[in-house]
A and B are shown apart, each in its own frame.
Chain A
Amino acid sequence: MGETVIHVEELGKRYRVGERERYLALRDVLTRAFTAPFRGGRERRTRDYLWALRAVSFDVQQGEVVGLIGRNGAGKTTLLKILSRITRPTTGSAEIHGRVGSLLEVGTGFHPELTGRENVYLSGAILGMSKREISQKYDAIVDFAGVERYIDTPLKHFSTGMQMRLAFAVAAHLETEILFVDEVLAVGDLEFQKKCLGKMQEVSQSGRTIVFVSHQMNQIRRLCQRCMWIDGGRIRYSGSMLEVVSAYEASFAALPSPGEHGAEGRNHSTRFLGWRIAEPRSDVPNVLDSFGSITFESSLAVNEDIRNGVHGIALFNSDHQLIWATSVDKLRLKSGSHSLRFKLPSLPLRPGIYHWDVSIWEGGRCFDRWTCVPEMIVGTKPVTHPQEEWQGLLNIPWEFQVEQQDEPAIRQSGR
């Protein structure tokens, strides 16, 4: 493990609620003074504070790629802004060893009146590159962006896509030892995002230290080894990427919005009560993190005997695409509670969120149909092709070998 390059201790940031409003214009101050009597007027004294970040401590080692995840307003960007010195902390301190670059936005410092070439220099200088450095990388930047033909026309005549490509190209050539990146990859069309992600991957493998905010878990999965989940200004969970991402996604799944029971089931008391992954057993029975066999179990409360029942099961991915479904018939179920189990030899799905759908019927009449909650999280290690466009639906462990006569076989595997 490399040495510690970022050491953060008890970092906190407090904002005054309504601060923006207070600083808008003298007019507002006057208006407030004028209307204060009508509002009880104690507003100014009972000023509220909001802690965007509370006592956050962590270390980052050299060469690590750390993902910051969390909901909007959790404090991720505030943390990045403090580390990149855009704003000052209220409490605590941070030590950083090495040249810092931060990309909180694509196209920082771009000016529409300047030409593409001029903007490359300007934006590069603003991001912290020296003039010499920019000159050296200039050709590579323009090449990456693919805008050679227009480089000497004012930026305002560029299409949005071209501006974006040029902006990212400049940013991608920022070669500092430490890089803070905020959701930069979330811009542009799919094609562009892929290119950016590829570049980021290249950068992350070059031994530089990166702290990076994203809402897109597939980016986090691809780039990070370690993750921090920030919630309400604190670090809620910090650890290996898989653990943290699974926990984070599970927290979404635990929200009560899905889990609707079928229409006919509502006035009938035969219904599904819950589900779990019965095998392999774990503390979080909705998380699948192994490639082996799996037993899906749902519990059903039956209130009147079913003689010729049909039990349906279906599995959907987060795009509501059907992955697998089957049904069993001629079921005899006495009133009481039952466990219904499906055992599958393997469920090699690509990591992500899935939901099960179970139903119970008799003679064309539906007793209950339930979209299972919580959703199932698949948190297995990805063993598929690293490029986004070659990510299929499945994540199948594999073995590969080449044999040549009289030579020992060369083997590889992914599991």
Chain B
Amino acid sequence: MNSVNATAETAVLAKTPFLLITPPSRWWAIPLGELWSYRELLYFFVWRDIKIRYKQTAIGAAWAILQPFLNMLVFSLFGKLAHIPSDGLPYAIFYYSALLPWMYFAAALQNATNTIVENQRLITKVYFPRLALPLSAVLSGLVDFGVSFLMFLVMMVYYGIRPGAAVLWLPAFLLLAILTALGVGLWLSALNAIYRDVRYVLPFLVQFWMFTSPVVYASSLVPVKWRWLYGLNPMAGVIEGFRWSLTGRGDPPGRMFAVSVGVVIVVLLSGIGYFQKMETTVADVV
């Protein structure tokens, strides 16, 4: 009788979710399983970011087109004045194809960096995997990216540029941009939770980063010998890749791209590690 009861009890216990709370350990793991079980919350975070972004703006999501478009106009003007080589592409296409990933990246990085500080109330009041915050910040930027990409399609038709098979590579470059924003965003959001200085450093960082990326110029300006080194900036690989896959000009992914991928993996894994270290104390700190 007793043993029957005991097994019935353990069966009940086994069915209910079990949670063990312990002091933080030295080890960290990527909590993919947990993130998966919180996927609905992730969805709601992304949804919230998108909903709020253009509330109380007069033209709403049109900003997603206007921002890269205005940038493109300014850059084209300078490009023309300074006779910047554009690999034989119209300036509009040359710049817009770079601004697409760049503006996504800059916005995603900014959102991800501020996300822990902006959601500190939430963090101190309820549990969810904290990784969901920078992850959703990075993902929600994709909607703007999609909108501005539609604009690019229109421009392609206008200039009569037809992408080749290389366009199949585009998702890979986009993924690399997402992971770069996530990796760096993890580092910066964790640092920002501790040192609010990060918030002030960020605009300079983004600006500096843009000039070290082939946004306003083509990476063909960089001597071939140093191209791989240039790949240490993963956005260089991403932007060059975007141009190549969308227009067919420039170089297909080579050593530079491989270096970029390597850098992103390192930044991402270390970012997750650092973020989780911060995560254990963040509710006590923010």
Contacts known (A125-B41, A177-B16); A83 close to B21, Cβ less than 8 A = yes
B40 touches A96 (CB 8 A): no
Tell me, rounded to whole Å, the shortest Cβ–Cβ distance linking A303 to chain B. 60
Q: Mark A111-148 against chain B: 1 for CB-CB distance below 8 A, else 0.
A: 10110001001100111101100000000000000000
CB of B147 within 8 Å of the partner chain = no
A100 nearest in chain B by CB position: B19
B122 touches A88 (CB 8 A): no
* A238–B41 CA distance with the chains assembled, in angstroms: 37
B284 touches A15 (CB 8 A): yes
A97 touches B13 (CB 8 A): yes
How many B residues touch the partner, as a band? 35 or more
Taking a contact as CB atoms closer than 8 A, the residue among B12, B52, B127 that contacts A3 in the complex is B12
B18 touches A96 (CB 8 A): yes
Tell me, rounded to whole Å, the shortest Cβ–Cβ distance linking B286 to chain A. 8
* A224–B37 CA distance with the chains assembled, in angstroms: 33
CB of A295 within 8 Å of the partner chain = no
B44 touches A102 (CB 8 A): no
Contacts known (A95-B18, A104-B126); A87 close to B48, Cβ less than 8 A = no
Q: Which residues, 85 to 108 on A, are CB-close (under 8 Å) to B?
A: 85-100, 102, 104-105, 108
* A19–B24 CA distance with the chains assembled, in angstroms: 18
Residues of chain B lying within 8 A (CB to CB) of residue A128: 126
A96 touches B21 (CB 8 A): yes
Tell me, rounded to whole Å, the shortest Cβ–Cβ distance linking B38 to chain A. 9
- How many of A's residues come within 8 Å of B, CB to CB? 48
Q: Mark B243-286 against chain A: 1 for CB-CB distance below 8 A, else 0.
A: 00000000000000000000000000000000000001101110
B283 touches A102 (CB 8 A): no
Residues of chain A lying within 8 A (CB to CB) of residue B196: 24-25
CB of A82 within 8 Å of the partner chain = yes
A125 nearest in chain B by CB position: B44
CB of A410 within 8 Å of the partner chain = no
Tell me, rounded to whole Å, the shortest Cβ–Cβ distance linking B193 to chain A. 8
* A93–B20 CA distance with the chains assembled, in angstroms: 7
CB of B124 within 8 Å of the partner chain = yes
Tell me, rounded to whole Å, the shortest Cβ–Cβ distance linking B25 to chain A. 10
CB of A149 within 8 Å of the partner chain = no
A25 nearest in chain B by CB position: B196
Contacts known (A88-B21, A90-B23, A126-B44); A113 close to B56, Cβ less than 8 A = yes
A84 touches B285 (CB 8 A): no
Taking a contact as CB atoms closer than 8 A, the residue among B22, B122, B126, B280 that contacts A102 in the complex is B126
Q: Which residues, 1 to 38 on A, are CB-close (under 8 Å) to B?
A: 3, 15, 19-20, 23-27
B285 touches A23 (CB 8 A): yes
Most buried by B among A3, A83, A85: A85
B17 touches A86 (CB 8 A): no
Taking a contact as CB atoms closer than 8 A, the residue among B16, B47, B52, B124 that contacts A98 in the complex is B16
B195 touches A98 (CB 8 A): no
Most buried by A among B41, B47, B126, B197: B126
B16 touches A122 (CB 8 A): no
B126 touches A25 (CB 8 A): no
Residues of chain B lying within 8 A (CB to CB) of residue A173: none
A126 nearest in chain B by CB position: B126
* A26–B195 CA distance with the chains assembled, in angstroms: 6
CB of B26 within 8 Å of the partner chain = no
Q: Which residues, 1 to 57 on B, are CB-close (under 8 Å) to A?
A: 9, 12-13, 16-24, 40-41, 44, 47-48, 51-52, 55-56
Tell me, rounded to whole Å, the shortest Cβ–Cβ distance linking A192 to chain B. 20
B286 nearest in chain A by CB position: A23
A129 nearest in chain B by CB position: B40
Residues of chain B lying within 8 A (CB to CB) of residue A24: 196
A19 touches B41 (CB 8 A): no
B199 nearest in chain A by CB position: A25
Tell me, rounded to whole Å, the shortest Cβ–Cβ distance linking B16 to chain A. 5
Residues of chain A lying within 8 A (CB to CB) of residue B48: 111, 114, 122
B126 touches A23 (CB 8 A): no
A29 nearest in chain B by CB position: B195
Residues of chain B lying within 8 A (CB to CB) of residue A93: 20-22
Q: Mark A65-77 against chain B: 1 for CB-CB distance below 8 A, else 0.
A: 0000000000000
Contacts known (A3-B9, A23-B285, A105-B125); A113 close to B16, Cβ less than 8 A = no
A-B contact pairs, 23 of them (CB 8 A): A3-B13, A19-B285, A26-B197, A82-B21, A86-B123, A89-B21, A90-B23, A92-B23, A93-B20, A94-B21, A95-B18, A95-B20, A98-B16, A102-B126, A108-B126, A109-B126, A111-B48, A113-B51, A113-B52, A114-B51, A125-B40, A128-B126, A177-B16
A contact set with B: CB distance below 8 Å: 3, 15, 19-20, 23-27, 81-100, 102, 104-105, 108-109, 111, 113-114, 118, 121-122, 125-128, 130-131, 154, 177
